[in-house]
Amino acid sequence: MIKRALNVTREADFAAWYQTVITEADMAEESGVRGCMVIRPWGYGIWERIQRLLDDRIKATGHENCYFPLFIPLSYFEKEAEHVDGFAKEMAVVTHHRLVQKDGKLVPDPEAKLEEPLVVRPTSETVIGAAFSRWVQSWRDLPVLINQWANVVRWEMRTRMFLRTAEFLWQEGHTAHATVEEAREETMKMLEVYRSFAEDCLAMPVVAGEKPENERFPGAVATYSIEAMMQDGKALQAGTSHFLGTTFSSAQNIKFQNAEGQQELAQTTSWGVSTRMIGGLIMVHGDDDGLRVPPRVAPWQIVIVPMLRDVPEDQAITDYCKALQADLAKLSALGEPVRALLDLKPAKAATKRWGWVKKGAPIIVEVGGRDVAGGNVSVVRRDRLYREDGKLDSAVIARTDFVNDAAQMLESIQTTLHEQARERMDANITRGITEFAELEQAFEGEKPGWAEVNWAKPTGADLDQVVQRLKALKLTFRNVPSDASPAQGACIFTGAPAVERILVARAY
């Protein structure tokens, strides 16, 4: 049996394994502040890569970045009842603007109470809507296409690093349009940006589709999501895109004069992804040795570990590694310059190697005296860590061959991770279910995956009833996949003729 780098396997305890990866890969840690985490350099480095690649795509689709206030006056929320109902229970509220010493303790100064309390933004539709109402007067001012990268706060009672934290980082796009058609087109365009970003950059297969009524964003006319399958079979909602109709334009008075000279309400959208994606990345690509980061989002794609022994020969090894790093940095892979790190920290080579295995650096290159003498390098690929005999698969390769092959190797790792995840997802979506009893059966096992079933799209109280029946099985609706086959036969919940196919799953 192979001795693994982590002390817990996915099989034995998936939740414990997840926490262990986060700790052992130096991704994040508890901060001491309730519900908030510290994102450490390796975790934040992945977020920076996500930001860079996604921001390029957001800009390429015509959006500009702005920045709106962290604080939102209570009165802004009062204007939109459904929206506030959705968020009021989890809002951090600022009530004072000064501290004073009292009995040797710091307390909020009663003399410095705010006239109107401020909410720390849980999302920015209201405050951005107020700006849009200033910016939009005529059809010529439309569309308004903006995005912001920001922190938001939702006071969650049960938190879990990356997946559900009181404060998290995200981007939120907000747009205003003259027509329903244009706003709906925007909603779908950004859903597609998220879908292709998840697949191409995160190597994370997802299903894009529309959320049912009960899962809509508070205030939305329609909500779409991308859903990814974790290795325990659960679903993770990894991004959402909302068509908001005139909900916020009527609350915030976003009106324009159309070409015919009449006043109309603008049609708005919003869409976002967050640091939650990193939680998904871990649960899609991690293995029992830690994380495996797809090369496109790896802060360092190739890490060079010199095997130093505090002897005079060390200098030759270090020089050899520096030259190697310089040569690798000249390469291009996956459309960008290769990111190669020379790890010169004061620690043993074996400790460093396993540190990088746990962090999931795509390629680890070890260089010892023998490699230097032979003009070689010892290469470990994170996507194929062990040989069939269970030994670490460290291949001695001529240095020139490695430099020639490195870009292609990174591309191959990106593809391999994507294909592995795609095969797993495809193999774990059950499609043949025709009755509710079959659905119950399908979710009896340990890692049941998802089920795609025919349904009649009930609404209101009928839908609530179905949702409750699913809840009893710890199941939820995920979305109606955009590319699902047409519905056929009867709805497995109501028996009525089915109108579409919907995904059912346990979820994070």
Residues forming contacts to its own copies in the complex (CB under 8 A) are 29, 31-33, 36-41, 44-45, 47-48, 64-74, 77-78, 84, 88-100, 105-108, 117-120, 127, 130-131, 134, 140, 146, 150-151, 153, 155, 166-167, 169, 346-347
Distances (CA, A) of 269 to 55, 179, 243: 18, 12, 5
Contact 291, 201 (CB under 8 A): no
Q: SS3 for 455?
A: strand
245 vs 280, which CB is nearer to its own copies? Answer: 280
CB of 137 to its own copies, least distance (A): 13
CB of 88 to its own copies, least distance (A): 4
* Strand pairing class (340-342; 302-306): parallel
CB of 477 to its own copies, least distance (A): 27
CB of 33 to its own copies, least distance (A): 4
End-to-end CA distance of the chain: 32
User: In sequence order, what are the beta bridge partners of 454?
Assistant: 501
User: What is the C-alpha radius of gyration for the chain, rounded to an integer number of angstroms?
Assistant: 26
CB of 453 to its own copies, least distance (A): 37
**Spatial distance between the Cα atoms of 321 and 327, rounded to a whole number of angstroms:** 10
2 vs 93, which CB is nearer to its own copies? Answer: 93
**Amino acid occupying residue 379:** V
CB of 291 to its own copies, least distance (A): 17
309 vs 471, which CB is nearer to its own copies? Answer: 309
- Tokens 């960008």 correspond to what residue? 336
**Spatial distance between the Cα atoms of 274 and 483, rounded to a whole number of angstroms:** 25
CB of 414 to its own copies, least distance (A): 23
- Tokens 């934040």 correspond to what residue? 44
150 vs 413, which CB is nearer to its own copies? Answer: 150
**Spatial distance between the Cα atoms of 313 and 145, rounded to a whole number of angstroms:** 59
**Spatial distance between the Cα atoms of 505 and 452, rounded to a whole number of angstroms:** 9
DSSP 403-440: HHHHHHHHHHHHHHHHHHHHHHHHHTEE----SHHHHH
CB of 71 to its own copies, least distance (A): 5
Among the residues of 142-223, which ranges form H helices? 180-200
95 vs 459, which CB is nearer to its own copies? Answer: 95
Rounded (5°) CA angle 297-66-91: 85
**Spatial distance between the Cα atoms of 419 and 106, rounded to a whole number of angstroms:** 56
269 vs 275, which CB is nearer to its own copies? Answer: 275
Q: What is the DSSP letter of 112?
A: G
CB of 106 to its own copies, least distance (A): 5
130 vs 421, which CB is nearer to its own copies? Answer: 130
User: What b/e string do you get for 468-485 counting C-beta neighbours within 10 Å, with b at 16 or more?
Assistant: eebeebebbbbbbbeebe
62 vs 374, which CB is nearer to its own copies? Answer: 62
CB of 38 to its own copies, least distance (A): 5
Closest residue by Cα to residue 172 from 240, 263, 104, 110:
240
2 vs 81, which CB is nearer to its own copies? Answer: 81
30 vs 405, which CB is nearer to its own copies? Answer: 30
